[in-house]
Amino acid sequence: DSGVTQTPKHLITATGQRVTLRCSPRSGDLSVYWYQQSLDQGLQFLIQYYNGEERAKGNILERFSAQQFPDLHSELNLSSLELGDSALYFCASSGGQRVNIQYFGAGTRLSVL
Amino acid sequence: DQQVKQNSPSLSVQEGRISILNCDYTNSMFDYFLWYKKYPAEGPTFLISISSIKDKNEDGRFTVFLNKSAKHLSLHIVPSQPGDSAVYFCAASDWPGTYKYIFGTGTRLKVLA
């Protein structure tokens, strides 16, 4: 158990809809990262937050947004969903003594029909 | 533009033998490299890392080698065990420049009993 919790595990929705994925980082970790893994692809970095502020951004679509709350949990919002957004979405956190190691949650599998 | 490449999608090895997984990168600014292991329905789990100031790092049965001039790293697992069967991802970052990882597409290792 990595200590990173992601909910829900599975999400099925229709094109054009909006969904919210939630992540609770390991206790004490200030950084949260979001990654997308499409079929047979590596994990693609989307965005990072550190203690509530955006720290780094990857190839995140404008239809996607994220935030980190004062209790350090994070949410990834995906809107105007398209079939191609179907993927596994992973959250990771880092902090403490090994600040350069990211610990991953089990992911949310999003299916857009 | 795939900055981190794992050219072997799959690898089969006999139990007890050595498994060698390879990874190539193109960005000379990368200075920290990691290997993650992923089982089905779980998030990636950190395995071992190496900074660019070293050329080898060992942790039990796992050793990572870095050849900076060739922009190549490899993960050796000796001896391989059936429980090692998983997908292995190589990742790179220009720590502490940015905080994101760039992942390869993974190699599926199957260790045969």
Distance CA B73, CA B55 (A): 9
> What percent of chain B lies above the pLDDT cut of 70?
96
Give the closest of B45, B100, B104 to A42, CB-based. Answer: B104
End-to-end CA distance of chain B: 38
SS3 assignment, position B5: strand
Distance CA A32, CA A75 (A): 10
What is residue B99's predicted lDDT score, i.e. its pLDDT? 72
B102 touching A (Cβ < 8 Å)? yes
Residues from chain B contacting residue A105 (CB–CB below 8 Å):
43
Cβ pair A76, A16 in contact under 8 A = no
Low-confidence ranges of chain A (pLDDT < 50): none
Digit-coded pLDDT (tens) for B35-93? 999 999 899 999 999 999 999 999 999 999 999 999 999 999 999 999 999 999 999 98
Give the CA angle between residues A94, A95, A100 to the nearest 5°.
65
Digit-coded pLDDT (tens) for B67-79? 999 999 999 999 9
Q: Judge whether residue B97 has pLDDT over 70.
A: no
- The residue among B8, B32, B33, B101 with the most chain A CBs within 10 A of its CB, best to mutate, is B101
A68 touching B (Cβ < 8 Å)? no
A51 touching B (Cβ < 8 Å)? no
> What percent of chain B lies above the pLDDT cut of 90?
82
CA distance B11 to chain A (A): 16
Of B18, B36, B38, B21, which is closest to residue B79 (Cα–Cα)?
B18
Give the closest of A44, A101, A104 to B43, CB-based. Answer: A104
Give the closest of B43, B49, B103 to A101, CB-based. Answer: B49
What is residue B29's predicted lDDT score, i.e. its pLDDT? 87
CA distance B23 to chain A (A): 13
What is residue B1's predicted lDDT score, i.e. its pLDDT? 67
